[in-house]
A = this chain, B = another copy of it.
Amino acid sequence: MFSDGVFAIAITLLIIEIKVPRIDSIHSVDDLVNALVHLWPSYFAFFYSFGGILVQWIVHHNTFNHMDKTSRPFLYTNGFLLLTIIFFPFPTALLAEYINTAYVMPAVVFYGIASVVNSLAWFLFIRSVNKPKRLLNDTFSSEEYNKLKASNHFAFIVYTSTAVLAIWLPYVALSLNVALWILWVYLSLIEKE
């Protein structure tokens, strides 16, 4: 499946944004230890985006498993969704570069905008599996479909408000996103299946 491949490549490309400390700037063992420690923004951005793409892949894959038809509008909304996924290595690298500087604001806002556009793409994707014709088969209950829609609305509201908040309080906005993400994983783990 083409979509799975795109998710797999986007998630793996995240690693090539973590750059090895250049040997010219290393003059002792301690220098290299410090350089590796000071790469924490890169590690953080890597984990953060990895988590985001992985969760989306699980939801995307699960939705595809319940479809046996397709439509022209669906192909386009799926394409647009993949475009927003593929885009993430760029804001991830931006965040890694600037999170630890005085210029963090535009990086967090930019990442936030990418997340908002991504949730809009999910909105169109979710809509297109039901209209103009229903593409999901009966193994996907309308309860599940409504839950998917509710998650999407929630994500849209959270990403939009934290992207706006980030203009004044970038670190608070980012922390909120991370906290919600941890909460979401926790809730999905204790949930009865």
Binding site for B on A (CB under 8 A): 1-2, 4-16, 18, 20-21, 23, 26, 28-29, 31-33, 36, 46-47, 50, 54, 57-58, 61, 71-73, 75-76, 79, 82-83, 86-87, 89-90, 93-94, 97-98, 101-103, 105-107, 110, 185, 188-189, 191, 193
Contacts and interface: CB of A to CB of B under 8 A. Distances in A.
B79 A54 contact: yes
A106 B137 CA distance: 51
Q: Determine chain A's interface SS by DSSP, over half rule.
A: helix
Stoichiometry, copies per complex: 4
A2 B110 contact: no
A13 B193 CA distance: 37
A5 B9 contact: yes
Contacts of A188: 72
A41 to B, nearest CB: 11
16 contacts: A2-B4, A2-B61, A5-B5, A6-B8, A9-B13, A13-B16, A15-B86, A20-B90, A20-B97, A23-B103, A26-B98, A28-B103, A29-B106, A32-B105, A72-B188, A73-B189
